[in-house]
Structure 1
Amino acid sequence: MSDSAPSRPMKFPYTISAKIAQFPFKYYVTNQWIWKYWMVGIAASIPIFYKIHKLANSPENVSKWAEMRRKEAAAHH
């Protein structure tokens, strides 16, 4: 028995692993627009998410949120 791949693929891959092995990933990565702009979109959105994170977790906002939750808890008990 050799460790190389089979000389010809199955006519119909029955198992999930055979389907994954025969899927043409390279074709989709080179011919679909989503893969080309994926990293551009991630790089463009990181500064926006960072700014939102800084605003939401500012010390003033955190203390305001804690005070609101303290008042809400006191009203329920």
Structure 2
Amino acid sequence: MSDAPGRPMKYPYTISAKIAQFPMKYYIQNQWIWRYWMIGIAVSVPVFYKIHKMANSPGNVSKWAEIRRKEAAEHH
């Protein structure tokens, strides 16, 4: 595999050249949105996991199955 070219294009006109020369590290280090995005994910994942566990508990599943059975009986 060859190394990156020693002299990058003055104006990257292809999509791959634009992606290769995009200063992503600079944006991640200097923009607030990336930091708060990571904090938001770290805070919301445990909350959504807890909601998921409560909604899919055996008691809740059987309760909703009974509700759906009653609704189906009313329509027939």
Shift, 1:23, TM fit: 0.3
Q: How many residues align?
A: 76
Pairs within 5 Å for 1:48-67:
48-67=47-66
Q: Normalised by the size of structure 1, how large is the TM-score?
A: 0.74
Structure 1 unmatched runs, 5+: none
Aligned residue for 1:30? Answer: 29
Query: For 1:33 and 1:7, how far apart are their aligned partners in 2?
Result: 32
1:20 maps to: 19
Partner of 2:3: 4
CA RMSD of aligned residues (A): 2.2
Partner Cα distance (1:22, 1:75) in 2: 64
Q: What is the distance in 1 between the residues matched to 2:66 and 2:11?
A: 63
Work out the percentage of aligned pairs sharing the same amino acid: 78
Between the aligned partners of 2:49 and 2:38, the Cα distance in structure 1 is 17
TM-score, with length taken from structure 2: 0.74
| Residue 32 (structure 1) shift | 0.6
